[in-house]
Amino acid sequence: MADAEAIRAFEHAGWERAAGGYEASFATATRTFIPALLDAAGVEAGQSVLDVACGPGFVTAGAAERGAIVRGLDFSAAMLGVARTRHRNIVFDQGDAEALPYPEGHFDAVISNFGIHHVPRPIEALRQAYRVLRPGGRLAFTIWAAPSENIAWKLVFDAIRSEGDMAASRAPAPGGGFGTPTDCESALEQAGFTGISSRKLTGLWHHANGRALLDALRAGTARMAALIEAQSATDIPGIVAAIDRAAAAYRDADGLAIPIAAFVAYGHKA
């Protein structure tokens, strides 16, 4: 595994850069799974809820809409700037998922939507979530499914593999390698959780065409953006054309309706 601080620095720079365009790009995918995440954590009115790696705070706001008393936490000042502007009545804290700045047993639920797998040591982040939960409190988090079942990613990876260079990115390897429900459940177990389970979630991500899909991933992500930006400019038209060819099966009247898939994993503190 690459050095944890190198992963953290890479992720931090990536999310600082993505923050401004995130809502219009990647959030159109991540927001699909908010209700399922809140259900998995059993979020309801009156509960004290922490949203880890909150980004622009859409999940935090979703929990607040259910009547929970919420806080969002992220390490990116740029993401927090967007969150504080978009959701003026919610408190957002700057901090790292591996070192949560809250006392033990403080929250009824901890949630994280597509955040945990970006942390250099995801099990550390889960241990921190466990620490700040009250006994009986619940954690739920989402990760993306592997490209074989997550078609938006598959389209881009396949196109880069055939028309570009999959090895071009200089990004350090991710710390967690979370790609399957088993990875998530085993990490939850190592962090001390019980009552562990997970389930697959599916949705559709709408784009006008292959170029729009590539642009959304370039604008609103860290690791995928690094891969796309590392492609030679002369290869991009071929990559876009390959995405469009392979995406023909997902065409509808408005453009492309591309299947996306994720897992929500959850457990509680005994």
Among 75-83, 148-156, 171-179, 203-211, which window interacts with ligand SAM (CB under 6 A)?
A: 75-83
Task: Answer yes or no: are the C-beta atoms of 181 and 119 closer than 8 Å.
Answer: no
- Enumerate the H helices of the chain as residue ranges: 4-22, 27-30, 34-40, 58-65, 77-86, 122-132, 151-163, 181-190, 210-220, 223-229, 236-246
Q: Integer distance in angstroms from the first to the last C-alpha of the chain?
A: 31
Among 54-62, 102-110, 153-161, 183-191, which window interacts with ligand SAM (CB under 6 A)?
A: 54-62
Q: Does 53 bind ligand SAM (CB under 6 A)?
A: yes
Q: Does 113 bind ligand SAM (CB under 6 A)?
A: yes
Give residues 29-48 in contact with ligand SAM (rule: CB under 6 A). 30
Q: Does 27 bind ligand SAM (CB under 6 A)?
A: yes
In degrees, to the nearest 5, what angle opens at C-alpha 87 toward C-alphas 91 and 24?
Answer: 130
Q: Does 96 bind ligand SAM (CB under 6 A)?
A: yes
- Nearest distance, CB of residue 241 and ligand SAM, angstroms: 28
Q: What are phi and psi of 145, to 5 degrees?
A: -70, 160
Q: CA-CA distance, 86 to 28, in Å (whole number)?
A: 16
Number of residues that bind ligand SAM (CB under 6 A): 22
Among the listed residues 87, 118, 207, 218, the single contact to ligand SAM using CB under 6 A: 118
Binding site for ligand SAM (CB under 6 A): 8, 11, 15, 27, 30, 53-55, 58-59, 74-76, 79, 96-98, 113-115, 118-119
